[in-house]
Amino acid sequence: MFLAPFSASTIPTTIGVVIKKLLLFSILVCSAFVAAYAYVHLQVGKQLAARDITTEPTIFASRFEVRSGWKFPPSTLSKELNRRLYRRQTSGALREGEYRIADDRLDLVTRAFRTPLGEEVPSQEYSYDFLSGELLNHNNPKSTTLWLEPEALGPLFAAERRAEYTRTLEEIPSHVQEAIIAIEDERFYSHFGIDFLGISRAMVQNIIARRIVQGGSTLTQQLAKNLFLTPERTIKRKVLELFAALSLEQRFSKETILELYLNEVYLGQEGGVALHGVESASRAFFRKNIQDISLEEGALLAGIIQAPSYYNPRKHPKRARQKRNLVLSKMEELGFINHTQASRAKAQPVVVEQGFIHAEKAPFFAQALRSELGNIINLEATRLTGAHVYTGLSLGLQQCAEQATQEGLTDLEQRHPRLTKKEEKLEIGLVALAPYSGLVRAWVGGRNYKANQFDHVMLAQRQIGSTAKPFVYLTALDSTLNSYKVATARSILADEPISLEQLDGTVWEPENYDNKFRGDVTLRYALEHSINLPAIFVARRAGLSSVSHTFERFGLHEHAPAVPSLALGSIESTLLRLTSAYGGLANNGRYTRPRLFREMTDAEGTRYATSIIRERQVAQEAPTYVLTNILQGVVERGTGKAARAYGYSGDAAGKTGTTNEARDAWFVGYTPTLVTGVWLGYDSNAKMGLTGGASAAHIWGRFMACAEPYLPPLTFLAPRDVIMRDVDTETGELASEACPNEQVIQEIFVEGTEPRSTCSKHAPKRAKPRRENYETSPPPERLSESQNRRPKRKGFWDYLFGK
């Protein structure tokens, strides 16, 4: 075979063609790279612009308030300050975010913060005397109130479970910055976003492993990946990462890039919450602000970055310590610390907090709040506005509620082992409201949110049992609520068997819980001891339609049926409705609708949603106060006396409730500033076998004992038209000096309803007073009643209402 003749003259032509093709290819490649870079650079700019103008929408708890004259124990104020990560100092001048407690005195410099309306509250210096409750504002002596900044409950959008706090580079200690640079990117200040030496080292490792095991990324590349890209390990993503890193280096100084990185870097999980930034990790692992952590703690955080799960100091303390010590050695090698500092830090044990600080707080409440906001506005449209929701929930009271429910359930199940032998868990609900504003102060919707998200505060419709009785008696006590007659606390009621023919022809024979009959009892005694038959007697005398109307006015039910069983709580309602109804009693007969939030605003104060106070006067102040006074007796000596067993000493009124076969147990109680309801039962409506006094009242008492330091020491104040009189218990008349002391009690009355005559039995020379001749016809709602009652003498109530 012969080769074709080859001419030397063709060589230049061939080389020229090759060069042209290479040049054209180079131009195309460069053009593609330039176009790709320009596109990535543009996208980075857009995303940074969006990031600059928005913050993650967050739900906030209420501010913590201290007024001059309010006495808080040191433990309560310390708890509030420590939860906000204020630094406790023992000497020297205090800076913002620091406090000192010494010799029954608190010295404090608060942090500046924004109100829901966007107003700036400046940092202030205060002194507080624990013995007298006196508060002194050193910056504004005329001010008598101290406010601590509201705390975050969690993200507004539930899927975005992310903990992050923005800190300036000056706020982050140099040893934290140096530890991260030492282990993650030692040539950070000398490269332009890409470290070719690091990339070469990574390529060698990847070739040896025949897969991508090391990235060789700089801090700038890591920041680009965290901000703009997915975590997948592909060539395409790596190229985009390089372009994004170059874009960041072109836009920002090294200091700005480092600051962005330290606020964005991923450092693991707390449950379902992702920890981003050194501040969130410092709070999670050490319960400290980042500026307060030590050298060894900073090195520990730096060591976590490469593999947050593998080096998790809670789960793998030995691994975390080894990596921490490697970081310290690298810092020593680079001259950031000396040998003595490194050795001392390496000798320290790894000490981290075990409890989660970033787990969503009050999850049932947050779930209900998101639902309510979704009914008011297009919530999704506010995602990029940076709007925050400000609520009235108190984290201090919320912790009390969670502690009381968990400890209370554990105690009940230990004392009554049968409660644990069912296939389902005993459930619970607790909600606390401010009666004058309707704002939610604490909310526990169930025993375990992770196991059961059904909210027993807002969603569970259950029969309310004897918690209905106060509204029955209020109908009789208040002349504006019934058109028949007005009762008093000393009115005599019949506790005797009755048989009622119902509209369908069946006969209903209600009984008392203990199956006993006491004959004549006073209204006060009947309510304090939750006797059933007198409540039915009163409801029928005052008018079933009137009682139904009272229930509706207090928000218990939209259409309460006018039937005798209404007096025993046969209607279904929710714990939230029932508790807010009792809030109307605490608020002197003024009902306020419950409110889950105050405002939804952005940083500029633009309002997206507002919750205004909606209230109405549904009962007169004086008879409502008389009812409150009777309900105080429930707590002191009646069915709710267990509420006092845990140390709560303030003024309180309340009522127990138990439904048929003890399927539901209730206790709702209130103070002048807080109304709290507790429910216990099974979701299947199975029998529980415990009364409200034996279960729910105990949990209410636990909660209030914990909550007492947060409540101002106020008492129930009687209206002007409420008077107190000495009464002879045997006759129901005004006591005279001749009445035996053991038969004389003090009783309160709405002015004009008190007895008019002095005791005739113990003053024989006085003529027996004449009573008014009231009409004897029964109220129109009265159903047929059997006539086989045993004879009884007429009591005061019979004369008053007629019989």
| Longest distance between any two alpha carbons in the chain, whole Å | 158
- Would you call 570 exposed, middle or buried from its count of C-beta atoms within 10 A (0-12, 13-18, 19+)? middle
Cα–Cα nearest to 185, from 330, 5, 35: 330
CA distance 102 to 22: 80
Q: DSSP string covering 629-686, please?
A: HHHHHHHHHSTTGGGGTTS--S--EEEEEE-GGG-EEEEEEE-SS-EEEEEEE-TT--
143 annotated active-site: no
Q: DSSP string covering 226-279, please?
A: HHHS-S---HHHHHHHHHHHHHHHHHS-HHHHHHHHHHH-EEEEETTEEEESHH
Q: Which tokens belong to 326?
A: 């490697």
Residue in 80, 184, 621, 733 annotated catalytic: 184
282 annotated active-site: no
Residue in 217, 247, 466, 546 annotated catalytic: 466
Q: Which tokens belong to 435?
A: 């009666």
| Measured CA distances, 648 to 103, 157, 479, 709, 711 (Å) | 27, 38, 34, 10, 11
| Measured CA distances, 502 to 274, 567, 601, 785 (Å) | 61, 15, 55, 9
- Residues forming beta bridges with residue 600, ordered by sequence position: 389, 609
758: helix, strand or coil = strand
With vertex at residue 388, the alpha carbon angle to CA 385 and CA 389, rounded to the nearest 5 degrees, is 135
CB 312 within 8 A of CB 341: no
Q: What is the CA radius of gyration of the chain?
A: 36
What is the identity of the amino acid at 701? G
DSSP designation for 418: G
Question: Rounded to the nearest 5°, which phi and psi values hold at 130?
Answer: -70, -25
| Measured CA distances, 235 to 79, 230, 270, 311, 482 (Å) | 51, 12, 31, 27, 81
Q: Which residues are catalytic?
A: 184, 466
